Copies of this chain bind each other. A is one copy, B any other.
Amino acid sequence: MDLAARIESSIEAALLAAAQTDCPPRLADALHYAVFPGGARIRPRLTLAVALACGDDDPAASDAAATAIEILHCASLIHDDLPCFDDADMRRGKPSVHRAFGESLAVLAGDALIVLGFDLIAASPMRHPERMAPLIRVVGRAVGAQGGITAGQAWECESAVDLAAYHLAKTGSLFAAATVAGAAAAGAEHELWRPLGETIGEAFQVADDIADHVGSTAVIGKPTGRDKALGRPSAVLELGLDAAVSRLKSLVGRATALVPPCRGEAHLRALILTETQRFVPAGLVAAAA
């Protein structure tokens, strides 16, 4: 099974387990709508790629880690799109969850997916159950109040913002969890994998800023020009477009150099190169070059 198929089947199983009996039908619909069809599933593919590069001796653990990270990512998108934050009408090419189901169900769907993210790790039939606690802590750190996604979003509510902390928390943290959890699931020395994930996350953030600046809603699947409209920090607005594109290239180079020694090192490096090239939709690369 290729990585994408393995991830989709694991996410489907998790959703099915979370929303069968005793789940109010509209909430079940909202959960499914928020998770399928997915985006590029970049983070969970990264988790599995790292786990495989480290031997992947406990596939139930790496599946759980990858799935939890994607589910928590989906939860954050739902809440980010709410009227009190970005008030976004579109996401992944269709109406955002709060536009499709109303604000109440959007809040609840986000909450339910956060719960599911942790519950599915606890439910995983791991071969090495001693890896469960570190996995939950890695994922919890990535989404919590202390440098996680929640902190990232909350920096937008402060008058004085620490920009580096903001970007690291809002985007870098979950990419860091993707690499660290992949290594932890395979029993590797996992904290060594944090700089790689953080750097890929930074590259992704710059690519996202570029896409927001030069893209169109039709290509990106969500509204563009939002950074400027909402006064959000953006690499393009700070550095200019050309320098932002150079920065993206340099971050990708740095990321490939940060892969820790592991048995699948060369393959993983090549994969990171391919994957990061897909961060900016093909049509935009020419426009941005």
Please report A residues at the B interface, Cβ cutoff 8 Å. Answer: 18-28, 31, 75, 79, 82, 84-85, 102-105, 107-108, 110-112, 114-116, 118-119, 121-123, 129-130, 132-133, 136-137, 140-141, 143-148, 150-151, 153-158, 165, 169
Q: Assess whether A107 is in contact with B136, with CB atoms less than 8 Å apart.
A: no
Q: Assess whether B79 is in contact with A165, with CB atoms less than 8 Å apart.
A: no
Q: Assess whether A154 is in contact with B18, with CB atoms less than 8 Å apart.
A: no
- Nearest chain B CB to A104 CB, angstrom units: 5
A153 CB contacts on chain B under 8 angstroms? 104, 108
- Nearest chain B CB to A269 CB, angstrom units: 30
Query: Please, could you name 6 A-B residue pairs with CB atoms under 8 Å apart, sorted by A?
Result: A26-B158, A27-B145, A79-B107, A104-B154, A119-B137, A129-B130
A119 CB contacts on chain B under 8 angstroms? 136-137, 140-141, 144
Q: Assess whether A79 is in contact with B157, with CB atoms less than 8 Å apart.
A: no
A24-B155, A82-B107, A115-B144 given; 12 more Cβ-contact pairs under 8 Å: A18-B144, A24-B157, A79-B111, A85-B104, A108-B145, A111-B114, A115-B140, A115-B150, A118-B136, A121-B136, A129-B133, A132-B132
Q: Assess whether A122 is in contact with B137, with CB atoms less than 8 Å apart.
A: yes
Known contacts A104-B85, A137-B119; is-contact A22 B169 (Cβ 8 Å): yes
Which chain B residue lies CB-closest to A149? Answer: B111
Q: Assess whether A150 is in contact with B22, with CB atoms less than 8 Å apart.
A: no
Q: Assess whether A150 is in contact with B118, with CB atoms less than 8 Å apart.
A: no
A26 CB contacts on chain B under 8 angstroms? 154, 157-158
Among B19, B25, B75, B146, the residue within 8 A (CB) of A19 is B146
Which chain B residue lies CB-closest to A166? Answer: B24
Complex Cα distance A167/B48, Å?
40
- Nearest chain B CB to A114 CB, angstrom units: 5
Q: Assess whether A112 is in contact with B150, with CB atoms less than 8 Å apart.
A: yes
Complex Cα distance A163/B140, Å?
34
Known contacts A18-B145, A24-B157; is-contact A150 B104 (Cβ 8 Å): no
Known contacts A107-B84, A107-B107, A122-B140; is-contact A112 B22 (Cβ 8 Å): no
